[in-house]
Amino acid sequence: MTNNELLKEKCNPASYEKLMALRNTKLHEFVASYAELCNPNSIYVGTDAKEDRAYIRQQALKNGEEKSLAIKGHTIHFDGAQDQARDKAQTKYLLPHGADLTSVPNAIEKGPGIEEIRSILKDIMVGKEMYVLFFCLGPTGSEFSIPCVQLTDSSYVGHSEYILCRTGYEQFKEIGSSEAFFRYVHSAGDLENGVSKNVDKRRVYIDIEEDIVYSTNTQYAGNTVGLKKLSLRLAIQKASREGWLAEHMFLMAVHGPKGRKTYFSGAFPSACGKTSTAMLPGETIIGDDIAYLRKYKDALHGVNVECGIFGIIQDVNDKDDPVIWKVLSTPGQAIFSNVLVCDDNHPRWLGDGRPAPEKGINFSGQWHKGKKDADGKEIPSAHKNARYTISLYDLSNTDSELDNPHGVPVRGIIYGGRDSSILPPVQEAFNWEHGIITMGASLESETTAATLGKEGVRQINPMSNLDFLSIYLGTYINNNLQIVKGIEKPPRIFLVNYFQKDKEGNYLTAMEDKRVWIKWMELRVHGDVDAIKLPTGSIPEYEDLKRLFKEVLNKEYTEEDYLKQFSIRVLENCAKIARIKEFYTKHKKNVPDILFTILDEQKKRLERAHEEHGDSLFPPAFRHSQ
């Protein structure tokens, strides 16, 4: 049977016509190949039309992957008890025979990997419908655009992608016969009570040579929604070949004096304030997760790869998150996953600011307060990694340039980590190279008890992108250094830290203080305020912060607080440099020499300052030594 005959047999006339309207041989071969392997009963082809999006939503309800909630348009999805997070162990790169398997983490040979994944996919969709869906990473009709095609038997995955991503059927019409598109093959496998049954056969394999992601026997969106972190891995490889950057970054506009809007991107490891920064009151958001950065008209421009948010819902409440709360409590499309559903058919989650529920339905089935699992451990009302999926178009603080095909000019880049003892709340790099090396490539964060069971363990996570690199780390660092060549005024680079503590363990800054730090960064980008140059970077003048605290938060800011927050501890900074150098010595493949040079220069500045000023460097001593 030819590919054309197979597609005609599996598709209804309308779907066959929609697929054939895309004059792309590689696309047709791809769909036919996996239709033959996975053997679905039928194929449904979705376009950008509202009718197709509505069909996918209806199928999610019909097959039990989602259920309607009390508020119109809201649905609940449960993942299986063993399918609640990204499966790092089974997320593997497929590299061709002879390739250096140490070039990326968790790589295996492509031949055996393809053989294994094909054996799992064989006849996995028997009795099901395969959905062929089209999306676009980045705005459509743009040099940022990457067309994508998703094959899946999960209407929940399709529904999620229609909320999170821009549709791309018309984009495929534009590319004609081009073979430059990303491909995804997913199956939830056999379902039991609406969730994936055979999680022991869960696999997430990434073929970076062919731009294909395979995902089997899982529904959790981090393993299945190919256009998020799975695509980031493909995009990093593509960006490295083509001379741009694919980053684990938010994009936001900071609103300055006289109606001025200044765009920032930012990379923060988990639990370091990334989303809370992107959603700061008074500012506008373009994206909270992934950005592509390219040179355009003598500037670095960025786009949000997506147009939605797949966010952790724990601790979202009406006081701290009013914009998100409104979307989660009013009619419109929203998918809740792994929360509790109460008797009134309303969702509840941990930290939602309401009285604790007594009973309901959650990922464990019927739940009541005090319920324990097989090991005698108490089951919480909702999962700690419970999520919400919403569209950015529904948020009142979404920036007007979200879909600008040229992106937005990035004037500042912010790196942020969780640090109790070394870093001040905000500092600025001396220049691009200094920022990339000592702030981005040296990004370090302390773990929390919730993640590793032990607090304070320092982990180095360059640009908060280490988990997703599909190229050598050294090559990635060099790509970041080179991206601004030819740009007269590169973005300024900043490092923030919201987690400083005193010797008694008390935080030195409040949660809302980040609104002041970002306003100061906006002023620095435009040269509106001066700064004090310390050995590690430039910090704010006290008088500027005093004024900003009053203007932004209506708070008094004392010089005593300033000295506690912005004094630099020399020995701790030198110890950090030693850790960073050791880390890159282990990852030495392709690491540029300038990385070690800049780190050594910073250490020498600290040592000279230590000889003159002692263990702690106080800002007043450096105010007149600019």
Residues forming the active site: 272
Neighbours of 246 (CB within 10 A): 27
Q: How many residues does the chain have?
A: 626
For residue 151, which phi and psi values (nearest 5 degrees)?
-105, 125
Beta bridge partners of residue 303, listed in sequence order? 292
Which of these, 173, 249, 256, 236, lies nearest to 518 by C-alpha position? Answer: 256
Question: Could you give the angle at the alpha carbon of 467 between the alpha carbons of 461 and 470, nearest 5°?
Answer: 115
Distance, CA of 518 to CA of 512 (rounded, Å): 11
Buried b / exposed e along 75-107 (16+ C-beta atoms within 10 A): bbbbbbeebbebbeebbbbbbeeebeeebbbeb
For the chain, state the CA radius of gyration.
Answer: 25
CA 388 to chain centre: 14
- Contact (CB, 8 A) for 158 and 188: no
**Which regions of 90-232 does DSSP assign to beta strands (E)?**
91-95, 107-109, 129-137, 146-152, 166-167, 182-187, 191-192, 195-196, 203-207, 212-216
In this structure, which amino acid lies at residue 558? T
Beta pairing, strands 42-45 & 129-137 = parallel
- Contact (CB, 8 A) for 375 and 345: no
